[in-house]
Structure 1
């Protein structure tokens, strides 16, 4: 099982075989007005920063990449400092991991799991909604 929260959002993932199976989930509510390119320049792999610079609105992609990196940390037990500077696709491939990423207006969400893991349940809940 992996759990994440951001503001009023809660994300939970459960695998069919939870013992020693890489699984990580992360959700982030975007902070409006944040200079995501500056953060990416100092934190992300150069290839990822270059790709963000080409985006007309880099915020969605930034938060999707950020949640992917946080989920990778949870799935691999690597530190965030190590994962931030590495190219995400290379990390996924070298660790035989798969990912799902969803950007929306309200949040960015990523799930990382072993390529053979069957995720039995994913819950995204706004705990303050009616």
Structure 2
């Protein structure tokens, strides 16, 4: 079983064209598929004001979820509202994989069964949409 520390060390040495997730203690290498149109619409087509939205992440960002076994997931896209982001102390806001679940996630580049497992994990961790 891999730990969050194992995952972080692997992220330092693996080529950036790989996308990794730590799902319930198991490191998964995911295919990277570009969905620029959908990500563009999500990032720029929304009417969310800057006071509500604190962070928009692509698949290059990830989150340490409050689950056991250890889980770090990197969604294809995610949104964290300011009210949730500001619950983190400033030093944790600088972490590579902050310890929180985003408010909204998009998963679109994995197998159907794996997406289902990931979405169940996201919802269990506190993702709302």
TM range (shorter): under 0.3
TM-score, normalisation: structure 2: 0.27
TM-score, normalisation: structure 1: 0.27
The structure showing larger relative contact order (alpha-carbon pairs under 8 Å, at least 6 residues apart) is 1
